[in-house]
Amino acid sequence: MKNSKSLLSQHSFPFLLGVVLALPIFSTSCRPVLEADAQTPSIATEIITLQTNLTKNSTEFVGSLEAAQIAEVRPEIQGRVERIIVSPGQSVDVGRSLLVLKADETLPQLQGSLAALDVAIGGRENALKALDIARAQRDTARSDLNLKIINTKRVQQLVADGALAQIYLDEVLAKQDAARNSLKAAEEQVAAAQVAITQADAKIREARAQAQSSGVSLGFKNVVAPIAGVVDDILVKVGDYVTTGQPVTRITQTDMFYLNIEVPAEKANQLKIGLAVELLDPSNGQQLATGSLVFISPTVKFNAQGILTKAQFQNVNSKLRDGQFVAARLIWGVQPGILVPTGAISRISGKSFVFVVDKKPNQKGQPVVRLQPVELGPIQGNQYQIKSGLKTGDRIAVTNVLRLRDGAVIQSHN
């Protein structure tokens, strides 16, 4: 037995010694982990305190843009295209030459136009003479009527006194009526002469315009821009023969656009002229421009049960195009609410969260953030409307959000 105890003690001593020697090693290897935890650095982030703002009650639609004015360019005469002065996409002012045509008109046509102008001028001169005669006849008739009115009054007095018989009064009354009719006829002649002068003036203008057109068509004819805008595709080439009224291009006025929006009929009672409308960038939903409703159709489309409305927009940075489909937000009104910067939103498993500063610091008195689920409304500028999950006075992190986690210690700067 003694030997066995001695043997045990001999084998146990190295084992116990190993355990004793190993303890400092384990304690030494654990100490850096504990110290690292105690020295976890805080994450710098900007903190904002949420306040009550005005949020927009809105609905998003897709509408088509329509240029405020588009003009088809058509030559006034027929001829062959001699030169093309502008290029598609070029901005032009009103009256700018676009094409030059070699007119297909003859000298006899010009001579005929000039002869018609001479006839029209002669007609006006005759009308002026007729007016002078009619006025003179009118003045004579007026004087004759005034004389007969005076004579009638005298005869009436004599008949009343018994100095003349009634038959004399009847005669002067008849002459007075005849003079009045003559004056009326003379006044009608004056009016007819004035109408004739007006018609003669119109004929002169027409004849002069025809003469000018015929004169120009003997040489080269400029086809000019009827409005200021951007030249569309040019439909003809040099050497092509064009006829009067044939479309050769069109000019689109690009500084102002209308947006056609079909609003459901059930919202008819909310529609009114002047409602704000925002154009949205389809790539990121950001606001491109702000306009307002300028037209509301008085009828409802039978099949779609929609009401056509038009909003007017300035073409900001020339990004808008005629016929382009764009997203738009119709603002029905505003109400108090909470707005949060888009950069403060975290997406986890398809849900939205923000980091809210916990009202209670951790055990070491350090501020920490907690992950708070929120329900988002529409984007307003570069901010989200918050439907639920936050309230006025909450403090949230808005920078360095990707580094934050639930319970993270923060180093905030307001």
Given a cut of 60, is residue 107 above it in pLDDT?
Answer: no
Domain range enclosing 112: 107-213
Sign of CA dihedral 331, 332, 335, 337: negative
CATH number, domain with residue 226: 2.40.50.100
Residues 128 and 227 in one domain: no
- Rg of the chain over all Cα atoms, to the nearest angstrom: 47
What average pLDDT score do residues 341-364 get? 91
Task: Please indicate whether residue 79 or residue 406 has the higher confidence score (pLDDT).
Answer: 406
Helix axes 107-161, 166-216, angle to 10 degrees: 170
Question: Residue 194 belongs to a domain with what CATH number?
Answer: 1.10.287.1700
pLDDT-based confidence at 215, cuts 50/70/90? low
pLDDT at 214: 66
> Does one domain contain both 302 and 156?
no
User: 181 to each of 143, 191, 207, 229, 303, how far by Cα in Å?
Assistant: 13, 15, 39, 61, 66
Burial status of residue 240 (CB atoms within 10 A of its CB: 0-12, 13-18, 19 or more): middle
| Residue 16 domain-assigned (yes or no) | no
Q: Cβ contacts of residue 6 below 8 Å, gap of 6+?
A: none
The predicted model gives 190-213 an average pLDDT of 82
pLDDT of the residue at 72? 93
* Residue 19: predicted pLDDT: 38
Whole-angstrom distance, CA of residue 174 vs CA of residue 176 = 5
Arithmetic mean of pLDDT, 197-210:
83
> Percent of the chain at pLDDT above 70?
84
Percentage of the chain beyond pLDDT 90 is 26
* Of 128, 121, 120, 137, nearest in space to 195 by CA: 128
Whether the per-residue pLDDT at 40 is higher than 70: the answer is no
Give the span between the Cα atoms of 305 and 195, in whole angstroms.
Answer: 53
pLDDT attached to residue 122: 85
Helix (H) or strand (E) holding 334: strand 325-341
Asked, for residue 144, whether it belongs to a domain, the answer is: yes
Same domain assignment for residues 233 and 111? no
Do residues 116 and 195 both lie within one domain? yes
Give me the half-sphere count of Cα atoms (radius 13 Å) on the Cβ side of residue 212. 7
Given a cut of 90, whether residue 98 has pLDDT beyond it is yes
Listed residues 213, 233, 262: the one ending a domain: 213
> Is residue 360 a part of any domain in this protein?
yes
Output the pLDDT for position 86: 94
**How many other C-beta atoms can be found within 10 angstroms of the C-beta atom of residue 302?**
7
Highest mean pLDDT pick, 182-186, 237-241, 254-258: 237-241
Q: CA 258 → CA 297, 308, 351, distances in Å? A: 14, 12, 37
Residue 1 has pLDDT above 70, yes or no: no
**Position 408 in a domain:** yes
On average, the pLDDT of the chain sits at 81
Q: What average pLDDT does the segment 126-144 reach?
A: 86
| Lookup result for tokens 């003079």 | 179
Note whether 54 and 337 are within 8 A (CB). yes
- pLDDT number for residue 23: 36
Q: What would the mean pLDDT of 63-70 be, rounded to a whole number?
A: 88
Amino acid identity at 50? L
Does residue 167 sit in the same domain as residue 124?
Answer: yes
Tell me if 38 is assigned to some domain: no
- Find tokens 């018989």 and name the residue: 165
164 shares its domain with 230: no
Number of domains in the chain: 3
380 with 361, same domain?
yes
Q: Is the pLDDT score of 55 beyond 70?
A: yes
Asked if residue 32 belongs to a domain, the reply is no
Sheet architecture: strand order including 79-84: 220-224, 97-103, 79-84, 241-242
Looking at the structure, tell me whether residues 88 and 193 fall in a common domain.
no
Q: Which of 15-24, 135-144, 311-320 has the lowest mean pLDDT?
A: 15-24
Q: What is the mean pLDDT of residues 239-250?
A: 92
Please name every residue paired with 374 in a beta bridge, in sequence order, or none if there are none: 352
* Residue 190 forms part of a structural domain: yes
Cβ neighbors of 11 (< 8 A, separation 6 or more) are none
CATH number of the domain within which 262 lies: 2.40.30.170
Q: Are residues 258 and 236 in the same domain?
A: no
Same domain, 156 and 206: yes
Calculate the CA dihedral of residues 81, 87, 93, 94 and round it to 10 degrees.
30
pLDDT for res 281: 73
Output the pLDDT for position 220. Answer: 59
Among 13-17, 83-87, 274-278, 405-409, name the one with the lowest average pLDDT. Answer: 13-17
Going by pLDDT thresholds of 50, 70 and 90, the confidence category of residue 38 is very low
The reply to whether 200 and 291 lie within a common domain is: no
Specify whether 187 is located in the same domain as 269. Answer: no
| pLDDT score, position 145 | 83
Which amino acid, residue 26?
A: F
Q: Is residue 13 part of a domain?
A: no
